[in-house]
Amino acid sequence: MEPPLPPAEQMHRLLAFLTTHEASDLHIKVGYPPYVRIGGHLRKTQLPPIESTDLVQAMLAPLVPLSRWPEFQEHGSIDFSAAIDTGDRYRINIYRSRGDIHVAVRRVQAKILDFNGLNLPDIYREAITHINEGLILVCGVTGSGKSSTLAAMVEYINQNRSLHIITIEDPIEFAFHGKKSIISQREIGLDVPNFKDALRVVVRQDPDCILIGELRDRETMLAAIQAAETGHLVFGSLHCADAQLSFARILEFFDRSEHGFIRSSLSNSLKAIMCQRLLPGIQEGERYPATEVLMINAIARDKILHEEDEDLSAILHQCRDEGMRDYTHSLVELVNQNRILRTVAMDHAPNRESLAAALKGIDTSSGSILSRVRN
């Protein structure tokens, strides 16, 4: 019988396994064998259960920056990124559970895929080409591909425009290398203590483009809006399901007395909301994004300003000639392109009846709102 591998080598092989089998996630929990997620499905490996927290800590020892352990002891969890010799990078969250250390690892491809590689519609590229300043939000739930989309946007600018790009991330996932642009990547916990400190000084660092990894509270959201209002191109991710809900999510960060001011600022600075959900493809292991894209035109600005968010879904439907799209339209495309099953589309449809009608070619839009813009 071969002797067991050293803990660090066990961890290295598990990470390499993610790459080899194109798994998205790895879970390490005391008392369980390692689990991996492949094609959206969680699967148990054939390895023996992890025996103790000491073993987990030994497996992680070469990966965790020494400066982060005190943070773990104080807060019970930490996020950081790591890379192995394959070039793949991993986003790692270590957290305490009933006194034990558990680990969730998300694999991030070393290669930054472009919009075509991510199967995103042309409006993503067109928006980045024509928008020079303002705020662009990429929205979706956990695991919807927001980070990959943001990376594609930054890399497109890097290849085509001469800008100074600053990213503020927790943790850094994709490593960018300057081409036409110059890029500074700052990681929370390593390069700067927190988002608040990073954002307080970012505009003093002469950026043209700022990527904020996640807009998670009042301070980050307000800093993003202010930077966009002062002529910077700002990208950020937001954890919400669709364009209409994104406004409710943003306003949650602020007191009710501030909502009028925030809506006024958003109506001027917000340029696009791009939402996505990753759906399982017909072929096992494939996943495709269903997308919803709201470009902020005069109609949308008016609706944002006057708290008429419920009309945004109609704008998505009626302004398709401007590149806008709703989830129903996207699901129809994916079904017609034989990328996802009709049953999958139905399971993820915002409105099953509307999707069924759209698949039959019936337009169920309820009248135009284009004439209802306030003067």
In this prediction, residue 29 carries a pLDDT of 95
**Cβ(148)–Cβ(116) below 8 Å:** no
pLDDT bin (cut points 50, 70, 90) of residue 324 is very high
Q: How far apart are CA 250 and CA 67, in angstroms?
A: 33
Kindly tell me if the per-residue pLDDT of 117 is higher than 70: yes
Query: Mean pLDDT over residues 148-154, rounded?
Result: 96
Residue 89: predicted pLDDT: 82
pLDDT confidence tier of residue 362, bands split at 50, 70 and 90: low
Residue 66 or residue 222, greater confidence: 222
Give the chain's domains with CATH numbers.
7-108 (3.30.450.90), 122-359 (3.40.50.300)
Q: What is the model's pLDDT at position 370?
A: 52
In whole numbers, what is the pLDDT of the chain averaged over residues?
91
Of 211 and 69, the one with more pLDDT:
211
Q: What is the mean pLDDT of residues 121-125?
A: 95
Counting residues of the chain whose pLDDT is more than 70, the rounded percentage is: 95
Model confidence at 325, in pLDDT bands (50, 70, 90)?
Answer: very high
Question: CB-based contacts of 261: which residues, under 8 Å, 6+ apart?
Answer: none
Report the candidate in 217, 213, 163 with the shortest Cα–Cα distance to residue 192: 213
Is the pLDDT at 3 greater than 80? The verdict is: no
Instruction: Give the pLDDT band (50/70/90) at residue 293.
Output: very high
pLDDT higher than 70, residue 328 = yes
CB 143 within 8 A of CB 133: no
Q: How confident is the model at residue 365 (pLDDT cuts 50, 70, 90)?
A: low
- Alpha-carbon distance 165 to 181, whole Å? 7
Q: State the pTM of this model.
A: 0.82
Q: How confident is residue 85, by pLDDT bands cut at 50, 70 and 90?
A: confident
Q: Reduced to 3 DSSP states, what percent helix, strand and coil does the chain have, rounded to the nearest 5? A: 40, 25, 35
**Higher confidence at residue 67 or residue 246?**
246
pLDDT > 90: percent of the chain: 74
The whole-angstrom separation of Cα 79 and Cα 341 is 36
What is the pLDDT averaged over residues 128-137? 95
Tell me, what's the pLDDT at 68?
86
Residue 207, sorted as left (phi over 0), alpha (psi -120 to 50) or beta, turns out to be: beta
**How far is Cα 26 from Cα 43, in angstroms, rounded to an integer?**
10
Q: What pLDDT does residue 152 have?
A: 97
Q: Which residues 6+ apart lie within 8 Å of 269 measured at CB?
A: 134, 135, 225, 228, 229
Q: What is the pLDDT of residues 154-197, one digit of tens each?
A: 999 999 999 999 999 988 888 899 999 999 999 888 899 889 99
